[in-house]
Chain A
Amino acid sequence: MKNFNIINLTKGKTFIHQLSGTTKVRLFAALMVYVMMSFDLPIILPLFIFSIIGLISLKPSWKTIRPIIFFVVFLNVLNIILYWLADPHCGFEYTADKTVLFAYTNYLVVTRGTLWFLLVRLLKMLTAFSTSLVFIMSITPSELAAGLTSLGFTYKLGSIVEIAFRYIPDISRDYENIAISMQCRGLELDAKKTKAIERLKQMVIILIPLIITSFDRVGNISNAMDLRGFGKGKKRSYYSEYPERRNDKIFKLIYCLIALFCAYYIISGLITPRVPKMWIYWRCL
């Protein structure tokens, strides 16, 4: 089971775990808007620090999440380098600065504006990642469904996401079983020994039984849900939801403030466009 261990099906004991599902989902939604809306370091950095604190406070099993973190950091750094290779002046639009720091050739130059833009961009991506990691590790499928309903979505969407979360571990186990039994019959799946197109063809052999077993479940699950009267009422309540506790009320205030700030920031940015588009440290020196 590669990295599906981060989904937990039972509620944990730490502070963030104990918040209600509604609080978690609303806070996450507000924070995602918050991190996506700008490239300003003073806005992104506090959230990054808080999300790291949040991650540590969850007492995760570092053995499970360390490879994920390494992988994501590697991927994002690679991404940044490719951005730079594709367009060495990609930060100009944001920073309006073309001071050259190093120049390898006429094309490959490192400008101050681009360097700053790419570093902030990297931090922004890592912040989005660490926030969503905290979110996904602290929430259970049932709480997620309850939270989505509280955002105003129909409960059927909540149920879809809940069932999907519930069955990801099952399907990934099926996948591994099928892959192993196919390898027993002589299917070469090693990435180094086969070409991409060849692997694609072999994956088809694994996929057909996987799709059949996965969708054979649909009948069973939907019958069981129908028998329990799913979809008969206009609304439904959730087992994991309870009246707000003290901590939920504190966080309600926090996410309301964040949402207000986001609304203010986005609207003010639309009325008077910021020049340059991002906060730059050398302009404040």
Chain B
Amino acid sequence: MKKESFGKILLGKWDTKTIVGVAIGIALFGVLMVYGSITVFTNTNLSLAMIVPVIVGGLFGPLPAALACGVGNILADLIGGWGFWIDWAIGNAVLGFIVGSLKLYGANIDEGVFDVKHMVIYAVLAVLGNVIAFGVVTPIATHLIQGGELKITIAQGWVAAASNATVLLVAGIPILKALAARNARGTNLTKE
């Protein structure tokens, strides 16, 4: 197994497989945004769609994950009819990039590598990513694009960050473990 360089993993390989993977990720994001969400606060759901960038990141890299999360958010807004929130899409893209960086710290869902060490890093990143994305980036984007009203956006941002972090921890870790276990089935064979 050849080790890929850090920069290469960061950018991802933009072949047909990645393009289709991101597209499927966006579709899944849209579906889960509509079905798999439990309303907490206005414009904010306990949404299982947040799992999608993690999976896309695990399979294809962080930049595809950011794209899947950002475009998926715009598309879901269009379909679900919540209106157009480009500032939240930017925040989501940042979050997608951070939580989708599994490959950067050595977890590899494709080959079943997801240990306790990776779990801890993943958990820290999930919390940190949400704080950065919705506590910092989204309010700034809102201020630049729509102007004013920061009080509400910050409140919504913290609720969103808390609920996303809950989803990423409670649902994310079991799913990643299950997927890794499924993919690991054939890897303990050695070539003779």
Contact = CB atoms under 8 A, between A and B. Distances in A.
A2 interface: yes
Nearest to A217: B24
B59 A215 contact: yes
Contact of A128 (B20, B59, B84): B84
A215 B43 contact: no
Contacts of A160: 19, 22-23, 26, 67, 71
B81 A71 contact: yes
Nearest to B147: A277
Contacts, number: 176
A222 B19 contact: yes
Interface in B119-140: none
Contacts of A162: 23
Interface stretch (A14-22, A80-88, A234-242, A246-254): A80-88
Name B's interface SS.
Answer: helix
Contact of B20 (A69, A76, A221): A221
Interface residues of A, number: 70
A90 B151 contact: yes
Contact of B17 (A2, A165, A222): A222
A204 B27 contact: no
Contacts of A55: none
A115 interface: no
A193 to B, nearest CB: 14
A231 B170 contact: no
Interface in A110-159: 125, 128-129, 132-133, 135-136, 156, 159
B105 interface: no
A164 B27 contact: yes
Contacts of A69: 81
15 contacts: A90-B149, A163-B23, A164-B24, A164-B26, A164-B30, A164-B75, A200-B46, A200-B171, A201-B171, A203-B171, A207-B36, A207-B175, A211-B28, A222-B19, A277-B148
Interface of A: 2-4, 6-7, 32, 36, 68-69, 71-72, 75-76, 78-79, 82-83, 86-87, 90, 93-94, 125, 128-129, 132-133, 135-136, 156, 159-168, 170-172, 175, 191, 196-197, 199-201, 203-204, 206-208, 210-212, 214-215, 217-219, 221-222, 225-226, 230-231, 277
